[in-house]
Every structure is written in structure tokens, then in C-alpha cells.
Amino acid sequence: MAEKGSTRILDGNNAAAQGAKLSRVQVIAAYPITPQSPVTEKLSEFVEKGELDAQYVAVESEHSALAVCTSASTVGARAFTASSSHGLAYMHEMLHWAAGARLPVFLACVNRAIGAPWNVLNDQQDSISQRDTGWIQIYARNNQEILDSIIQAYRIAESVYVPVMVCYDGFVLSHTEMPVNLPSQEDVDRFLPPYKPHTILDPANPRNYNLVTFANPRVNAEGVLCHGYMELRYLLQEALQNSRETIIKVGQEFGEAFGRTYSSTLWANRLDDANTVIVAMGSLVMEATVAADILREAGHKVGVLGLRVFRPFPKADVVKALEKSRLIVVFDKNISYGLEGATCSEIKSALYGSSVRAVIRNFIVGLGGRDVKARELVDAVNRSLLSAKEDDLTREYPEWICAI
Amino acid sequence: MQDYYEIRWHGRGGQGAITAAKILAQAAYLEGYQGVTAAPSFGAERRGAPISASTRIGRQTIMVVSQIENPNVVVVLDHTLLKYDEVTSGLIRGGWLIVNSWRHPKELDVPGDFNIATADATRVCSDLGLVVAGVTVVNTAILGSFVRATEAVSMSNIEKAIRGRFSDSQAGINLAAIAQTYEMTRLERRG
Amino acid sequence: MGTRDCQHICAESSPAIGEAGKTGEWRDSFPVIDPEKCVVARQNKPACFLCWLYCPDAVITKTVPIQIDMEYCKGCGICAQICPAHAISMIREQ
Ligand code: SF4
Ligand code: SF4
């Protein structure tokens, strides 16, 4: 199907704001932080001009921003927030809360490094540090995917009652303009029905939500056996496990409605005959395809696997995509200190017990805005090809592309 | 006209290099290039401090997200920046160095195997009153020199991009500045 | 039998008597109202009701006279502390 709507040249932050507007968000609460600030500025402008019928709640911190969003979501409003880096870290407690309360709140994470030392530039340490909070995490490669993923995120979140975070690289996408197709409001309305909350605070029917919950199940005043804390945690895990199906279905339907399909949890680029696979996430996937072009020209069978959905981690999809690989080179814009890059760990864990017996190399790149060039990715792959021996499947620690 | 351009802009904070990078991306998209990107140099921007910006223009979607290393075109909004080596760094053989300067390209004394174009955009803009907060805004005018030197986009698409961004009266002045700068641009081919 | 039948996906309940369990079992002392001192009892009409407002277990009625549900009164003594007429005393359970 051909693309509909209108195409404009937008930076990532503007694309995010447009995505929120098209999703008809009803409550926005966010605290400005570089590089996310323009998202909040744009949305407050929409509300001020009457182009978006939403409450813009000015807050004094990110913690309060997400507290406002969870409250709004509890009473049945579609809520939006955005943050980066230290702001996201400050939200940490409320991230757990939103997921635990099963509120389909949305958060745009404009990926930025975390101090010390101070740094406003891009890496993915901020969102990776929040991977265990029970949120679905989707990473965008470009500005079109930011807008599209936000619209899909509300459909996903409101179907499975799990909050969704769409992550995109600070500056590299947030401040870089590129063509973005804006779907029409009518088409988005048809795709995204109004939010139906599973909780609703209503004076006529008072309920207690997220009250003190003991370790063991208990019989409530109505004589019904209710979940203890652990059963509720199980249900959150189950919801994440099962959400893959919803993510795919929503992505397919998005394709049918708008002509851009998101029918996989991954982006596969020339994997069919590839025995060497580059793995990356976010905008780095784009640069990686440029590197793969160069390596192909040099005669290597190289493909690129881009992780679109990081939580739930699409284990089976990853195994299938890597089936033919002999060498997997994972580039991480984050580090789990004392171990390795987070996506490398996930890849290894996904491959455990599978028939894939590939050499795995991990490179830490691009921290704190360090530019990552295709030729550097090419070098890293070439080095890995040289060091790839059957008896040297993995290395204890990752290699770093830096000047140390 | 080529299939792929990497353009680096150099100016001082407040001179509008980033806006120029964006207007050019818009014009190129209108010209039919499917891939365009425009970006500031990343990080803090301070008024007066040397800054850069970039525009990529291609027939296909731009997949490169890293910083430009080897530009085809370097546009310098403030000729005093020419003393910094990074301004012409990586500029490819046969590429264009476009400078806002009253000097003839030959008088600029910039070594290299690239072509040079100059125009006194500052004079054009101050004559037309294109002054914001005491700074003569040459960012749009220099697009005239860009078109003249590279022929990468047409003046009509530059006009469309300008009209899409400015009010009618502002667009009029900016277009006049672009047209005059286009005419007065001096080209020195040496690549 | 599991807990799925409750059909909840987050912790929730209806506000109901006894929702927090038999809190009366927590009591080691109990409140006794002196009708000679309680403003409501003395005036025989709605007044004061500070104890009703402050009781964390909502076991004091807003009636004339006030009444305390001793099945759920947890014996915290807040009512005795808040009463401006010193009409409530806490007596140790035997
Ligand atoms: S305030 Fe405490 S002691 Fe007084 S009635 Fe309520 S629960 Fe009982
Ligand atoms: S606070 Fe004291 S005076 Fe007031 S209603 Fe309660 S017992 Fe009576």
C-alpha cells in the first residue's frame, strides 16, 4: 500500500511530539532536560494553541511527572511523558510503580549518557539501566520510527496493560531533521481507539488500588481469593512474555493502515546468506548497514540484525535470525559494568540451548556522544573475523572502541 | 548535480548556520532527493562561539548517522573562521568551499585542491536590513552562492523552502538577499 | 486453585468493613468515652466529631452519641489524644 498523509522534514523530538498529538494524549507531564526539552516545548505549544485537547501539567521534577501520569492513567486518561538520562534515573521508582500498577503510560526516552562526569550527549545507558522495571522498550532507528512507534505504543500498552518506552538516540535523532510522513488524524483515530482503563477511580464506585499487599494470597471482604505480591509479579512477567504477539499484530495492522510495516521485533538486513552478523540497536543499526555494505564489497557475507524490541526480549526471533551465523559482532552503546554490553548478554542468553554455535564478539561504542563511524564498525568486524576461532567462542570482557 | 552531497556549515552561534542547513535539506527534498538530513553540531551552543552544522542530500534514504568527515561542500558564514584548520578539514578534491567574504576567492589564500566561491553576503544583508539583534543574518543569503556553485538544488525550490518557513514579508527580503548573493558570487575552479 | 479467579491484574479491593483484617485483635488497650465530658453527648446534638475524623480505622460513628466498633478498633489511642474535652480514656485490656 502506498504511503498516505503528508511528508515533512522533522527532527526526532518534533516527530515524537507529533506522534503524541496524533495519539490524542490527554495528560502530559514532563520536566525539561537536554536533549528531550524540545518535546515538552512543542507539546505545550500544541496545548496552548488549542491544537491538542490535553492537560499540560507543569511539574517540579521527573518523579512528579511520572506520578502525574500514573494518576492520570488510573482515572482513565491517556498519559504522555518524556525524559532523558538523569531525569529518567530520577523517575526510576515511578517506573516500577507504573508497571506494577499495570498502567499503560507512555514515555519517550531521548537516550543520553549519565554522569558523573556531566555529559549531555548520546548513549543508551539511561534506558538500559531501566530495563528491569517491567516496561516494554522499543528502539527507533530514525525519526519516522519514533512517530510510528508512539502511535503503536499506545495500542500495545492499552491492550496488554504494560507501560511502553520508545527510546531514540539524543541529538543523532532528536536534533537531526529528516523526512517524516505524518499520517492523517482520521487514519490514526481509526487505528487507535480511545483508552479503556482496567482501573477507574470513581467516587460512585470507590476502589483501593495498589494497596499494601502481603506475601501470600488472601481472601478479600467479598470472600474472593486475591493475589499476593508474588502472583501480581508473575502476571506482570506473563504480560511481558505474551506482549510479543500483540506487538507484532499491532505492527502488522499499522502496516495495513499506513503502508509502513513493523511485523517483526527485529530489523533484518541481508541475513539470508550472512555468516557474519552485526547486532546493534537504535540509530546505530543504520550506520551498521553502511558498514555491512563496505564489508560486502570486500567479499564478506555480512548482515545486520537490529533490535527493535528490547523488552520483551525476543529470544526465539533472535535465535532464528542468527541461525546461519558463524560470527556475531554485537555493538553496545551501554555497559553493564563488570560484565559486558547489555544487548550482548541478552543475545548470549537467547542462544543458550539453541543450535547456533557462533563466535560472539562485543564492542562498547559511542558512549557520551562519541561518534561511531561505519569504518570503525568495519574495522571491528574485520578484527573479529581474524580472531574468530572455534576454540575462542567468546571473550571474558568486551572490547572498547576508544583511545585508551 | 550529483547523487550525494555532504555539506558542512561553519558559523558562529546566532548566525543561523543550523537554520540554513535545514532550509537546504527542505529545498533538496522538494528537488526530489528522497534522502535528506540536517543536524547541528551536537551539544551546547553559545552565541558567538564557532559552531558547525551539516546537511546530507542523497537520492536514497540517508543511512549514515555519524558526523561528516569528508564534505563535498563547506559553507562558511563568517570568513574570520577560516583561520581554524577544522573548517576546511576533510573537504574533498573538487569540492566547494563557499565563503561569505568581500574578497575574491583568489585573495582568500586558502590552500587545497577544492573550488572556492565567495560573495559579500554581509553587505547584501545589511543593505536589505536583514539584521536581528545586532547581527547581520547571512544564513539564507549564502544559499544563493551554494546554488550558484553546486547547482545541487534549483532557486525555485530554495524559494519554496523559504516561503514555507517565513512570513510573506520576511520571505521577500530573504529571497531578495539570496538572488543578489547568487548574482554576485565569484567562482574559482581549481579542483 | 489459583488466584486468577479474582481477575485482578493489579492489587485492588473495595473499601469494606474488615478489608484490612480483624484489626480489633491488635488492641492492647481500648477507648472508653465519658458521656459527661463528650461535647456531642452533653449537647445531645451533632458537634465536634474530631475523634470520628481522626480515627485511622474509621470505627467511630458520626452519630449522637458517638459509638465505637470494638470489633475493629485497634486501640491506637489517637481518639483519646485528639479529643479536646479529654472525654476518651485508654484502658488496658485485661
Ligand atoms: S482512634 Fe484508635 S483507639 Fe480510637 S477508636 Fe479509632 S482505632 Fe480505636
Ligand atoms: S473528640 Fe471528644 S468531644 Fe469530640 S466527639 Fe469525640 S469524644 Fe466527643
A142-178 pLDDT, tens digit per residue, is 999 999 999 999 999 999 999 999 999 999 999 999 9
The matching CATH number, chosen from 3.40.920.10, 3.40.50.2300, 3.30.365.10, 3.40.50.300, for B4-185 is 3.40.920.10
What integer is the mean pLDDT of C52-63?
A: 96
Interface test with C, best of A220, A230, A238 (most C CBs within 10 A): A220
Q: State chain C's mean pLDDT as an integer.
A: 94
Q: State chain B's mean pLDDT as an integer.
A: 94
What integer is the mean pLDDT of B114-119?
A: 98
What integer is the mean pLDDT of A253-280?
A: 97
C58 in A contact zone (CB under 8 Å): no
CB pairs under 8 A between A and B: 65
What integer is the mean pLDDT of C56-65?
A: 95
Q: 3-state DSSP helix/strand/coil percent for chain C, to nearest 5?
A: 25, 15, 60
A220–C6: do the CB atoms touch at under 8 Å?
yes
Nearest ligand to the C-alpha atom of residue C80: 1
- A24-33, A389-398, B33-42, B59-68: range with lowest mean pLDDT: A389-398
CA A206 to ligand 2 center in whole angstroms: 28
* Cell numbers at A111, concatenated: 537516550
**pLDDT beyond 90 at C15:** no
Residues A365-401 have pLDDT tens digits of 999 999 999 999 999 999 999 998 766 888 999 999 9
C12–A224: do the CB atoms touch at under 8 Å?
no
| CA–CA distance, B166 with B157 (Å, rounded to integer) | 14
What integer is the mean pLDDT of B122-128?
A: 95
3-state secondary structure chain A: CCCCCEEEEECHHHHHHHHHHHCCCCEEEECCCCCCHHHHHHHHHHHHCCCCCCEEEECCCHHHHHHHHHHHHHCCCCEEEEECHHHHHHCHHHHHHHHHCCCCCEEEEEECCCCCCCCCCCCCHHHHCCHHHCCEEEECCCHHHHHHHHHHHHHHHHHHCCCEEEEEECCCCCCCEEEEEECCHHHHHHHCCCCCCCCCCCCCCCCEECCCCCCCCEECCCCCEECCHHHHHHHHHHHHHHHHHHHHHHHHHHHHHHCCCCCCCEEEECCCCCCEEEEEECCHHHHHHHHHHHHHHCCCCEEEEEECEEECCCHHHHHHHCCCCCEEEEEECCCCCCCCCHHHHHHHHHHCCCCCCCEEEEEECCHHHCCCCHHHHHHHHHHHHHHCCCCCCCCCCCEECCCC
Give me the pLDDT at residue A79, please: 98
> ipTM beyond 0.85?
yes
What is the distance in angstroms between the Cα of A195 and the nearest Cα belonging to chain C?
17
CATH domain C20-92 topology: Alpha-Beta Plaits (3.30.70)
Name the residue with the closest Cα to ligand 2, atom 6: C51
What integer is the mean pLDDT of B70-88?
A: 95
| CA–CA distance, A37 with B44 (Å, rounded to integer) | 13
| Domains, chain A, with CATH or none | 6-197+244-258 (3.40.50.970), 266-400 (3.40.50.920)
pLDDT band at A1 (very low <50, low <70, confident <90, very high): very low
| B49 or A150, higher pLDDT | A150
C19–A225: do the CB atoms touch at under 8 Å?
no
What integer is the mean pLDDT of A61-77?
A: 97
Give me the pLDDT at residue C1, please: 64
What integer is the mean pLDDT of A28-34?
A: 97
* Cell numbers at A315, concatenated: 529470544
Give the whole-number percent of chain B exceeding pLDDT 70. 98
What residue segments make up the domains of chain B, in order of their start? 4-185
CB A135 within 8 A of CB A99: yes
- A327-341, B167-181, C18-32, C53-67: range with lowest mean pLDDT: C18-32
A188 in C contact zone (CB under 8 Å): no
pLDDT band at A3 (very low <50, low <70, confident <90, very high): low
Chains B and C touch (3+ CB pairs under 8 A): no
C14 in A contact zone (CB under 8 Å): yes
